[in-house]
A and B are shown apart, each in its own frame.
Chain A
Amino acid sequence: MDGWRSHDTVLQRCVHKLDIGQSNDRQTVDISLLWLWLLLTCRAAILKAVQLFVVFFFFIFVYHRIRELCQQFPHGITDQVIQNDMPHLEPQQRAAAINKLLSLGQLDLLRNSSGLLYRMKDAQSASKMKGSDNQEKLVYQIIEDAGNKGIWSRDIRFKSNLPLTEINKILKNLESKKLIKAVKSVAASKKKVYMLYNLQPDRSVTGGAWYSDQDFESEFVEVLNQQCFKFLQTKADMSRDSKQSPMVQRNSSFATSHEVWKYICELGISKVDLSMDDIETILNTLIYDGKVEMTVIAAKEGTVGSVDGQMKLYRGVNPVIQPTGLVKTPCGLCPVFDDCHEGGEISPSNCIYMTEWLDF
């Protein structure tokens, strides 16, 4: 109170002096006196404002610093990093700064084995979620985390602990906003998994190159099968006709999986791009048909088609034996073999298969 009273007297004196009509040099003094009065009057307020300014600039500086750190370490920074960078910062201030950035939606809070991580959030995605509420943000987060494989609605419910109706509403909302999409899984045809709109579904969900719209393309596989086999067989025949030394013959009858892949790509019978792994699965089915055998050899890193220092070689082979004697008789192929007894309804004496076979 005293301060105010003294202000009043100073003000009175200043005004009084002004009223008397002072000269110019006195005017400057008067103006400076006016400032002094203002200062004294709003001292508290001004002090507060100054303090705020200081804090503000300080925090701007801190935010900027933290953001720089985040950009420097795109995988995320821990609390420790911030502390090392700005050792004079107190923990509460640090926490306050981080909370502010989080609430502004510019930082992502992640947890890993060693503690909390802060990461720069994508500016683009930050803009997308404008207008959605927290629940939608949460669901979106869960779906995003599922990545390529997508996530089932029941799993979303477990992770977010939201009731089913809410989940469904949110999912419909997000789908209409074109943020997520539903993909039917090939394993269970009734199951729908959700994933982000612009992601390519993983092979395990769509089944890869062999499935088109949840249907296994068996004719496509058959055609590929035959083409690969023909390629290997012609290669083997060519090497056999070349009449060189046997080692050279055998080595030239081999084809690496890379060669087969190139041949199939050049044939152009496939609308989908096939990878070398796809071709290897086809070649494996040929092995299970007994028409092809495979060896693995060590290859130098960098040679075309080598994976981890190995190359798979395939070659066509002939069957080891002719069809066995048992299957040349009707009994070997008979569907009612187990019911056949002498004197029964089905017996060798009245076997219709034998009659047909004998008259053949």
Chain B
Amino acid sequence: MRGNSRSLRHLPQTSTNTDVGPPQSEARRPPPARHAPRLKPANHSERNGVAEVCVLSAEPHVFRLSSVVCLKERTSLLLSIGKMTAQEVRLCGLLLREHFGEVVEKVGTHLLRSGAQNLRTIIHETGLPLDLVKKSLCVLVQHGACNFRSGRKGPGCPTEYQASGDRILRILRYPRYIYTAKTLYGDTGELIIEELLQRGHMTMSSTVKTVADRLTQNMEEGRSMDYSEVTSAFSKLVETQFLQRCPPMGGARNTKDSGSPPTPSTPATPGTPASTALLTPESFPDCYKVPHITLIGRGKRRHSSDDGEDQKSAKKAKMDPETHGDEGIYWQVNFERFHLHFRDQAVISAVANKLDQTCSEIVRTMLRMSEVTTSPSATCTKPLSANEIFRSLPASYNILRPILDQYLTLLVDDPMEFVGKAGESGGGMFVVNLHRALANLARATLESAVQERFGSRSARIFRLLLRKRHLEQKQVEDFAMIPAKEAKDMLYTLLSQNLVQLQEIPKTPDYAPSRTFYLYTVNQLPTARMLLQNCYKTVANLIERRLFETKESKRLLEKSQRIEAILASLQVSGAEPEQLTEVEEMITAPEKQQLESLRLHINKLDSAENQVDETMFLLEAYVSSTATSTA
């Protein structure tokens, strides 16, 4: 029987064509356990490719297999600490190398590829010395990229370490987080987030001190930043849940040594593997509580004459004997909250594009009102009455009540279904349909990708198939009004790129081509996954190209750095202008040009990475929203 015979050998192979029914739209409905004991839902992978309808006579429904060449697998739908695809591992490795160095990269990629392992195995397999492995594991744990737990085989086993690829991929998004903090909370917020992202986990007092020092550095002479300002900014960030406390390490292991004050609300009992799954920071009651610290003072300005002393004092600051009352309470950036914010922004800008600026303001108000009342994985926000919305609109907009009602009706009637009506009380109860909005945005992303790559006529065929689900080739030609030859060509190109799938419906059991219906179809979710993998590969390509360009011009860069250092030292020691110009001329004009073009290239590659990251975010949000809604 054609198909993945490995998994179906034990199943009855007689197929009758009387059971052939309409094709199912989701590709991975796991069959009932008693018929297919070997097929585990967690490992059931999406395969994009030619699908066939094979019928098992024992089962009443149709089970779909795939049998094709080009597989882009993404296993593990359920847990985020699952296996990762090759592209993701490659990207994680590149990010780790850029931010932490090659040793950490080696350890990290090894852990990603092989899952949870204990220390001895890691040392053995990576071939690195013990202290280096320990240090890299510390770095990874500090940044939340690695978790440890007691061994699976029993309480006496050595601890096992597991890397979380999702967390490592977030490194790509750091610039966006910092920028968002800047727009919301100004420079102070920006620096707080930046410090926390750089250090991973930090106490509040050390963060405040460092940020105050940095801000003071940039202010004019004589002014300095007060700690209280920074503290208030920090508290605001915690209130809006952009920062959260790190879960205490004791809670992740057995309760024997959890003597630390914030006891976990759900203690992990030893020996039950299920509970050693990550306890989220939110499961702790004090997650968003700002500790009371005594921190009075102002930021210290670092003068250039204190260079040597600063090195020592910078090291000393870590071992600062001053205590401020918040020892042991470490904070980290709450990525999920930032993601919710990005998602809201995407919905608002989509509404602004499609409809009107005023409509987008209304949606922004609605989303702001439901920020704290809606859970992150909710399908739609809690219902808000029109009266509440009217009261919460910003005063500058000056919208009258009947006009607001009209706008709300317009939003509800829009085919994109951003806003839905949930009842009539209070002048009408309205919700924002989050999952549907994400699905629409993902669909628009797919369509735009097809349009840019293959042309607007192929995009027309793609949209047509998205709308009409299953069509024969003749129908595609008729609906899209494209001549037969060209339509055929375009369909086959899309099929070869796996953006379109072919569904066979046989009239006779021997699948004779003249007596079979061939229907073209597009499945949004697997196509989105495939595009997501392409995004990972693209970002990895861009990073590699950037490293390559830097390596090519390494000699030139070193030369220019040396010259700058000489210039700086000459300026400090008060040299004459001729000496300066002489030094500057050591770099020839074509070299200057090369440096300039190199700088442009690197900037372009950097900004391209950020742009692709935006696409990645949309697609990831869509994929995870479907996972939670089907789970």
Contacts from A to B (Cβ < 8 Å): 210, 216, 218, 221, 225, 245-247, 250, 281-282, 284-285, 288-290, 293, 295, 317-329, 331-333, 337-338, 340, 342, 347-349, 351, 354, 357-359
Contact = CB atoms under 8 A, between A and B. Distances in A.
Contacts of B187: none
B68 interface: no
Contacts, number: 142
A337 B448 contact: no
Contact of A349 (B544, B600, B604): B544
Interface in B441-456: 441, 444-445, 447-449, 451-453, 456
Contact of A288 (B460, B484, B548): B460
Interface stretch (B224-232, B296-304, B568-576, B608-616): B608-616
Main secondary structure of the interface of B (DSSP, over half): helix
Contact of B403 (A246, A327, A349): A246
B409 interface: yes
B615 A326 contact: yes
A246 B356 contact: yes
A109 to B, nearest CB: 38
A337 B459 contact: no
Contacts of A290: 447, 459, 463
A349 B605 CA distance: 13
Nearest to B467: A288
Q: Which 9 A-B pairs have the closest CB atoms?
A: A325-B611, A327-B452, A331-B538, A348-B541, A349-B548, A325-B615, A216-B483, A348-B545, A348-B544
A332 B604 contact: no
Contacts of A246: 356, 358, 403, 406-407, 410
Nearest to B456: A289
Interface in B327-360: 349-350, 353-354, 356, 358
Contacts of A348: 541-542, 544-545, 548
B129 interface: no
A289 B406 contact: no
Interface in B190-236: none
Contact of B453 (A321, A333, A338): A333
B605 A358 contact: yes
A337 B537 contact: yes
Given A319-B444, A328-B608, A216 B354 contact: no
B495 interface: no
B613 A285 contact: no
- Which of A289, A348, A357: most chain B Cβ within 10 A? A348
A301 B344 CA distance: 44
A221 B484 CA distance: 14
Contacts of B444: 319-321, 324
13 contacts: A221-B481, A290-B447, A321-B350, A324-B614, A327-B449, A328-B612, A331-B537, A337-B534, A348-B548, A349-B544, A351-B545, A357-B604, A358-B600
A359 B461 CA distance: 34
A333 B480 contact: no
A320 B460 contact: no
A17 to B, nearest CB: 99
B453 A332 contact: yes
Contacts of A347: 544
